[in-house]
Structure 1
Amino acid sequence: MGILYFAEGFPLGMFFDVFPVHFRQQGVNLSEIGFLSLLGLAWTLKFLWAPAVDHYRHHRRWMGIVDLGMGAVMLALAIHAGFGPWTWVAIGVFTLLSATNDIAIDGYTIELLDKRELGLANGLRIGFYRVGMLTAGFVLILSDYLGWAGTYLAAALLFFLLAFVCQRAPQERAPGRVHGLTLRAELRGLLVHPLPFGGVLLFLLGTLWLVNRATHWSQDHEQFWFYAGTVAGLAWLVSVLRHRRNGDARALTEGPMFGTLLSMLTRPYMLPVIGFILIFKLGDAAMGFMVKPFWVDAGFSASQIGLVSVNLGLVLSIAGGVAGGWYTDRVGILRALWVLGLMQIVSNLGYVWAAAVLPLGVDQALIPLQHQVLMYAASGLESFTGGLGTAAFLAFLMAIVDQRHSATEYALLSSVFALSRSLAGWAGGFGAEAMGYADYFLLTVFLGFPAFLLLPWVARMLVQATGKNCDNTN
């Protein structure tokens, strides 16, 4: 389990910590780096194809194939470690493969283990997932010694090794297809419900737009977007007509994914709570993807970024999570959201100060010691308080899910949070480029406050879900 969850954490670390540093060193502008974060939507939307992986089973095969695929992407980057239109496609494939790997590993774990083993497995999962992300930080340090081609080659070899290890994992207990879980039930129910069906259509159009953004292939087909929009609109109209004709919600509730989603949306206070989930960590999310480019522009080396911002930052984030979990248990979820949420917002001021003081474009050897200390302190404060806020936030998500559908509901709610992270990272590139780092980081402080306006509905949801005042201890 430890090795498998290491294989989950390592690609995420490559995406969020290695790619932004590499591309900024290549001179890629901030808006393009911010746009890169949209490719991380694969982790947000992986629940869309999770039923297919569950249906066809053979999770070890899925894991081995996608690890080989991610290794091949690393080899491609090693051969041509620059930045061009093909890079968007390569990284998009990388994130899709990584998200599919997550689905297969989670399914394999649930299928293989007895319930009495889940506690130990979950502990290993959290620990080794973080180790995988830490390893990406060490890969970043390698770039100062091996160059980017050697760095990506080392990452490729690690992925190939992980593919081999996955095939040596114990055999699943039920490797065949599970015929009771079919895509037909999902798709039939989805078609008669216009709201979720429209969301899927928008997702497909957005995927086409991302591909076009990378390759510009639609320039030779001027009417493509008109026809694509027309087809999507007609398909949605068919869904509306079928919904009016049938008037039956049972078809959708047959499916494990969309049925749970619609059932969850009908619960009282759910819409403002979803708004809260989207924006509670918006300040952190908006700043997060621009932090590594700021380090590069301030003159810090890849080794310093990997050691302090990535590895030490991750350790402090874990420590913040432990401290935040203890505090949440002591004072209750609602009060923890208030206090720890404010702390995670205010901590962004450390980077505001650093961005206002540190000159950009300075050679690494000329950075004064006091400026290095300021940057390290800003990074440590932001990482630790981010862990504090995450602990309260995850406790809130776990508290409000229906225990009858806990895994599916938690996956859907965490996907809502991940969606805001990707969209905020995309917008952050334009914001930092237009405003400068200091003003943009200051803006992220104010982005965190609107979530507190939704806490009255959060309190009502917590009372409804737990049946008690969530300000109380325990």
Structure 2
Amino acid sequence: MAASFNTSPVHTWREAFLVYLKPQVVAMLFLGFAAGLPLLLVFSTLSAWLREMEVSRSAIGFFGWVGITYSVKVFWAPIVDRLRLPLLTRALGQRRSWMLAGQLGIIVGLLAMVACDPETQLVALALCAVLVAFSSATQDIAIDAFRIESAVTEYQGAMSASYITGYRIAMLVAGAGALYIAEFSSWMWAYVSMAALMGVGVITVLLIREPRHEINAQTDDIESHLIEQVLHHQPQTRSQRLAAWFASAVVAPFVEFFQRNGRFAILVLLFIGLYRLSDITMGIMANPFYLDLGFSKTEIADIGKVFGFFMTIAGTFIGGLLVVRYGVFRPLIAGAVLVAVTNVLFAQLALAGPDLTWLAIVISADNLSGGFANAAFIAYLSGMTNRAYTATQYALFSSLMTLPGKFLSGFSGIIVDAYDYHSFFLYAAFMGIPAIILAVVVARHNGRHLQGMEAEESNAVKS
């Protein structure tokens, strides 16, 4: 049998398009909106509010630390995975209850921010922003788990495409929309309006159906074995029950992942860390590059808003469609190639100079390839999780997929200063080669794994 990225289509084109009409896919549009809305309200929109209130740039810079909350959500993901909330979990289920709790925390945090005076209560405002970010990250954990558990792997591309579309719309609303409201009314009404719009997420949670959350026999054996190793007997005291919970909720997800994938688990984690390396490495230098090349802020904003927004949406839609049509791995490989090639286009723009046509081409290609690759990659990560530990394992993957790129992006300015933008973007393109190679290796491994499973099933039938 050939590797999985060369197998026959999973679905027809008609079936692939109709996936976007499935209730769970439509629901992700609104959940994506709820997830995307808080982000800018504790980042760039908040920075604009603080600066208008004449808060110092140094103090505003410290507010950037609020974003660390999103990067460390893996630490409380096991709680979201296993801890039942009083009353809410019984009424709504595990995923919906945590989504609702996160949304209520966001609403309370936004309204509390309005009650703070940035000139005299800056610390209190910062704590309210942390509450919004923490609640938002918690909502993200629950939404990711809900998305994975609500659909099979080949539908995850469409689920992520719908989610990203809602997310992007929310960022426009929380960015440009909040600024318009603040301009024509006040910052108070801007944040109150955003808090009210979180009602979109609340209503969605109340309408959707809780997915099945099961622990299979193999997973149950892993947890029982871990508890036996830690306690040597069944937990009896409160501290022993806490230790047993820690073993099953925190340790077991990682043990299960390495047992399921064996030595190949290290390569999988390496692939996850490197897949978006090329994309993230160059991202921080994009706007300085446009400005240094001679484009005006208006030209960057106009082309970025029009082409950037719609091309990202188009890319995620196409990526999700092809995952349904052909499975995960062929789009995954294509996405890695497209992202690397796009950086070569940036290098060409560095030679072409301030040409608006080239700027439109590069921004279109960058957002189209980024959306495409992201949809395919999210589908792959979703398929790699065990549904007994969806929230914990996906939080690990989502944190890992941005960490190397964020680290290397810190050196991007040094490379530009030492050489030039043309050399930097070629370097960024070169950084995408390991992702392409590993995508092929992972796809071939998956093909051999499926072939082995089919052989075992065939032998079982014959015997």
Give TM-score, length-normalised by structure 2. 0.61
| Residue correspondence of structure 1 range 31-430 to structure 2 within 5 A | 38-43=68-73, 45=75, 47-51=77-81, 54-56=84-86, 58=88, 59=97, 60-73=100-113, 79=118, 92-103=130-141, 127=162, 130-141=165-176, 153=188, 155-162=190-197, 170=206, 255-266=248-259, 267-268=261-262, 269-292=264-287, 300-301=296-297, 305=301, 308-310=303-305, 312-328=307-323, 333-354=328-349, 371-401=355-385, 405-406=386-387, 408-409=389-390, 412-413=393-394, 415-422=396-403, 424-425=405-406, 427-430=408-411
1:135 aligned partner, one-letter code = A
Shift of 1:282: 1.0
Rounded to whole Å, the distance in 2 between the matches of 1:262 and 1:154 is 48
Q: Residue 317 of structure 1 contacts residue 384 of structure 1 at CA under 8 Å; is this kept in 2?
A: yes
Rounded to whole Å, the distance in 1 between the matches of 2:130 and 2:228 is 28
Rounded to whole Å, the distance in 2 between the matches of 1:272 and 1:46 is 25
Change (3 A) 1:172 1:155: same
Q: Residue 340 of structure 1 contacts residue 392 of structure 1 at CA under 8 Å; is this kept in 2?
A: yes
Give the aligned length: 378
1:421 aligned partner, one-letter code = T
Q: Residue 102 of structure 2 contacts residue 135 of structure 2 at CA under 8 Å; is this kept in 1?
A: no
Change (3 A) 1:27 1:251: closer
Is 1:451 aligned to residue 435 of structure 2?
Answer: yes
Match of 1:7 in 2: 34
1:406 counterpart SS class:
coil
1:263 aligned partner, one-letter code = E
2:248 counterpart SS class:
coil
Shift of 1:463: 2.6
Rounded to whole Å, the distance in 1 between the matches of 2:173 and 2:431 is 32
Deviations 1:395-422 (A, max 9, x none): 4334444xxx336357624632433325
Structure 2 residues not aligned, in runs of 5+: 1-26, 89-96, 211-221, 231-242, 455-463
1:6 aligned partner, one-letter code = F
The percent of aligned pairs where both chains have the same amino acid is: 19
Rounded to whole Å, the distance in 1 between the matches of 2:286 and 2:64 is 11
Q: CA RMSD in A?
A: 5.2
Structure 1 residues not aligned, in runs of 5+: 175-184, 194-249, 359-369
Shift of 1:328: 4.8
Give TM-score, length-normalised by structure 1. 0.60
Q: Residue 278 of structure 1 contacts residue 417 of structure 1 at CA under 8 Å; is this kept in 2?
A: no
1:419 aligned partner, one-letter code = L
2:402 aligned partner, one-letter code = R
1:258 aligned partner, one-letter code = V
Match of 1:180 in 2: none
Match of 1:462 in 2: 446
Q: Residue 34 of structure 1 contacts residue 426 of structure 1 at CA under 8 Å; is this kept in 2?
A: no
1:375 counterpart SS class:
helix
